[in-house]
Structure 1
Amino acid sequence: MKKIIFITNRLPFPNTDGRKNLLSQYLTQIKEIHPDSEIINISFVDDPKYLSAKPKLIDRIITIDSPGFFEKVYNALVYSLLLRKWPLQVSVYYSKKNHKLIAKTIQKENPAYVIYDMVRVAEYTEKHPAKTILSYDDLLSLRYQRQLEWFKYIPSVFGGFADKLPKFARGAAELKFIQKALIRLESRLLEKYEQSVAARFDHLIFTSPKEAEHFKDIVRHESCHGIPMKIDPIAADGSVGARQYDPNKIVFVGKMDIPHNCSAVFYFCEKIWPKVKKHQPDAKFYIVGKNPTREVLQLEKQYPDVIVTGEVNDVKKTVMDSALMIAPLLFGTGIKTKIVEAMSWGIPVVTNAIGSEGINASHRKDLFISENDEEMVQHILQLLNNAEMNHSMSKNSIDYVSQHFSSTVTKEKLQLILV
């Protein structure tokens, strides 16, 4: 029996956001490739209530605690600020106690593979016979560089990560000039660390094949792969062309304490929404996603017909009757899973160059890629008012996802690593 240790910076369940969905995909497809494998999850706990939702795919779970106050401060001051060795997010996730536990577990279990979830846990690497895999998610250093251009629309550049900072630092981290300095520092530290740590691992994974190829050229790593989220469309036979939808309902989907999602809805409400309402007075804009910040909640009061739902039990059910999904992302990296998922459900998408990055779909056929605000308004209005176009794009988007993001396609890529 193969043993596989999966080290995660949060529980890989339940499926409440894009990253957890992807981690769940890894678990599912690992079991499909190696049905007799035993998966041991060593994980930080983002919310204790999630522990009861442990899927059967995980045979055992070993929980680890966040570093204590003094260790976080020491790591940040010494390894991040003085030595410039670790990004801040490595400093606040690393503890010697956890490292000893992980090393002891690896030695005892003698796994065939050890998978590390994001650079935040990369410092827990150990010398052992097992094959090691680092899942980067995407290039966080590039994401942070892009954030610097859009500070006006970002309430907190650290998003949910701010909760991991020592309490005394959280207030200071909310000051814009400090945020800017820290994010610039973190971007530089991440860029250096992302590249230097690559050599420790046998295989590297990104969500975007395009980003994987780019990084492979930089670090000259033999095994660097893009494995996007597996998304199996609801249908691809044309019957979906008759889907029923509300011609006035526009949605945005995403975890609403993450900077790139917050900035997208702030920008949309300020720059795009008033122009849409001018031509379509009955239109309504739904912001769907858990953990809306105070600033996001305020959008309901600031703009007409904006509804912030917060976390919903079934995202698909909530958005399936939408005329379209909007994704006016100002910054970000990798493939935007929310866009591909909406396309798989037959919901037409209006986005921009950042949103479509890594998605090699055809403009005006599979989705709309707007070059400026005026184009975005026009594309929205076309999908609200042209049922034939809406149905055509709905079917085309399903066909596109079926060809590029199906379970078969993504599992074949994972098999290249788990041989």
Structure 2
Amino acid sequence: MNGEILFIAHRLPFPPDRGDKIRSHHILKHLADIAPVHVATFADDEADFAEEASLASMAASYCLRRRTKPLPLAALQALATGRPVSLTAFHDRALADYVAQTLATRSIAAIYVFSGQMGQYVPADFPGRLIVDLVDVDSAKFEAYAAKRRGPMALVEAREARLLGAEEARLAARADVTLLISAAETELFRSRLPAGSPAEVRVLGNGIDSAGFDPVLVSPEPRMLACTGPRLIFTGQMDYAPNIDAARRVIERVLPRIRAIRPEASFHIVGRNPTPELLARHGRDGCHVWGRVDDVRPWLAAADCALIPLEIGRGVQNKVLEAMSMALPVVLSREAATGIAAQDGEHFAVADTDAALAESVLTLLDDTARARRLGEAARRFVVENVSWDAALAPLAEFIQAKGGAQRHAA
């Protein structure tokens, strides 16, 4: 393409060890194959800064800022300005200055915005192509939070849903193309846009490294194997509300049903930043909370079943694809299965109630041959249908498309 690319992301795309970072990592790699890429992004912690060399090796230039604004301060600023908390939490003057300087000094032909809260950095007069990757519909997620909350927090979540929805619609009207992770998310987003919106909304799905997530490449984690009964696993970022709620659902409502029949069964939560509430469950009633691990694959290899009962699920769940790629039988809720074109009963087992989830797990634990067939079929599905090269094949078209009216009104 003629010109360079500016990539603006809410989290450093290294290391690719959680859902949003995995997606942004592979997108950045593909963009770097198209043209020089300049990156503006945030680090969450010192571990992210340890990955700065990886960013430097891929980016033509970059600005990596530590996100330190406390959420209560972001909330106060949001209330004072009438903006969503999500935007004020990710506003940083130095990052804005880097974006302005890069646009002034480099031949930026396209801006790729990864996550809606970063659209605030795009100037109204940018003349090139604008691609906004919302991934999923965050405003709908906050609506779901509000429906589950009581008291003041319900009002806070409802406010965020309303204001973020307006920002998503503004970005979609402003962008040349708005991307979401699945057909279901795309249709949901279109249904929430104002009548007559000029937004071009397309799907850019997720993939998975099935060659890396292969059970033959790793040995099961010994610490998990020390639990000698059936081992169930849930992976993910464990300070993320839907993951917390899903883990609590297993601990409080599903695992007791399973242990009433199989008292030796254990539930393993693997993922960084578990909350104090979850950590307090470690070692109690068959529950183990392991926190951040260097490589999730040995833990998946040590499990007998992945149990993923999300009640709020947006987009495509990488945790599901990773477990499937590791030939692990997966029992999951309908929300967790959203956006994955696999078949219930053939590639995974979908169950919605606590009793049905427990029954599905027990059935697989009792019928190891069926569990093995389900896991093998799951891996075949991933290998044959889900890869990053296939998922991101449309990316060059989105970045380099020519012709047609561009929508760059503020």
Normalised to the residue count of structure 1, the TM-score between the two structures is 0.84
- The amino acid that maps onto 1:52 is A
**Which one of the candidate residues 192, 198, 202 is aligned to 1:225?**
202
CA distance in 2 between partners of 1:66 and 1:51 (Å): 12
Aligned with residue 378 of structure 2, among 397, 410, 414: 397
Letter in 1 for 2:91: Y
The answer to whether the 8 Å contact 1:247/1:323 transfers is no
Give the corresponding residue for 1:212.
Answer: 186
Aligned position for 2:58: 57
Q: What residue is the counterpart of 1:132 in the other structure?
A: 130
Structure 2 contact 172–199 (Cα < 8 Å) conserved:
no
Query: 1:109-124 to 2 correspondence within 5 Å?
Result: 109-124=106-121
Superposition pairs for residues 265-414 of structure 1, below 5 Å?
Answer: 265-300=247-282, 303-414=284-395
The verdict on how the C-alpha distance between 1:218 and 1:234 changes in structure 2, with shifts beyond 3 A counting, is same
Aligned to 1:412, what secondary structure does the other structure show? coil
Alpha-carbon distance in 2 for matches of 1:112, 1:204:
17
Quote the residue 1:21 is aligned against. Answer: 22
Assess if the C-alpha contact under 8 Å between 1:235 and 1:398 holds in 2.
no
Query: Quick one: structure 1 residues 98 and 412, their matched pair in 2 at CA, closer, same or farther if it must change by over 3 Å?
Result: closer
Residue from 355, 372, 397 that aligns with 1:416: 397
Q: Which amino acid aligns with 2:42?
A: F
Give the 5 Å matches for 1:5-154: 5-32=6-33, 34=34, 37-54=35-52, 55=54, 56-64=57-65, 72=74, 75-80=77-82, 86-95=83-92, 98-126=95-123, 127-151=125-149
Partner of 2:404: none
- AA at the equivalent of 1:94: H
CA distance in structure 2 between the partners assigned to 1:365 and 1:324 by the alignment: 15
The answer as to whether partners of 2:146 and 2:155 remain within 8 angstroms in 1 is no
CA contact (8 A) 2:186 2:203 kept: yes
Confirm whether residue 177 of structure 1 aligns to residue 151 of structure 2. yes
Identical counterparts, % of pairs: 23
Q: State the Cα deviation string for residues 3-48 of structure 1 (Å, max 9, x = none).
A: 211112221211231111111010122234x2xx222111222224
In structure 1, C-alpha distance between the alignment counterparts of 2:45 and 2:338, rounded to whole Å: 32
The range that moved more, 202-211 or 365-374, is 202-211
Show the counterpart of 2:403: none
Change (3 A) 1:76 1:365: same
Secondary structure at the aligned position of 2:233 is classed as strand
Deviates more, 1:53-62 or 1:107-116: 53-62
Secondary structure class of the residue paired with 2:268: strand
Residues 163-220 of structure 1, C-alpha deviation per residue, up to 9 Å, x if partnerless?
Answer: xxxxxxxxxxxxx633222111111111222112211111212122321243245545
- TM-superposed CA distance for 1:100, in Å, is 3.9
Per-residue deviation, 1:416? 2.7
Partners of 2:230 and 2:304 within 8 A in 1: yes
Please list the CA deviations of residues 224-247 of structure 1 after superposition, one character each: whole Å capped at 9, or x if unmatched.
22222221324999x98xx99987
One-letter identity of the residue aligned with 2:106: E
Residues 67 and 93, structure 1, Cα contact 8 Å, conserved in 2: no
Query: After TM superposition, which residue ranges in structure 1, 4 or more long, deviate above 6 angstroms?
Result: 67-71, 243-247
Instruction: Report the Cα distance in structure 2 between the residues aligned to 1:315 and 1:236, rounded to whole angstroms.
Output: 9
Do 1:145 and 1:187's aligned partners in 2 also have CA atoms closer than 8 Å?
yes
- The one-letter code of the counterpart of 2:80 is V
Residue type of the alignment partner of 1:181: L
**3-state SS of paired residue (2:58):** coil
Structure 1 CA distance for aligned equivalents of residues 177 and 99 of structure 2: 20
CA distance in 1, matches of 2:250, 2:31: 39
Query: Given the superposition, is the C-alpha separation of residues 235 and 31 from structure 1 closer, same or farther in structure 2, using an over 3 Å criterion?
Result: closer
Contact 1:288–1:312 (Cα < 8 Å) also in 2: yes
Extract unaligned runs of 5+ from structure 1.
81-85, 152-175
Q: Which amino acid aligns with 1:114?
A: I
Change beyond 3 A, Cα 1:283–1:72? closer
RMSD: 2.7
Whether the 8 Å CA contact 1:3–1:109 is kept in 2: the answer is yes
Residue 159 of structure 2 aligns with an amino acid whose one-letter code is: L
Q: Does the Cα contact within 8 Å between 2:147 and 2:154 map onto a contact in 1?
A: no
Distance 1:102 1:53 in 2: 21
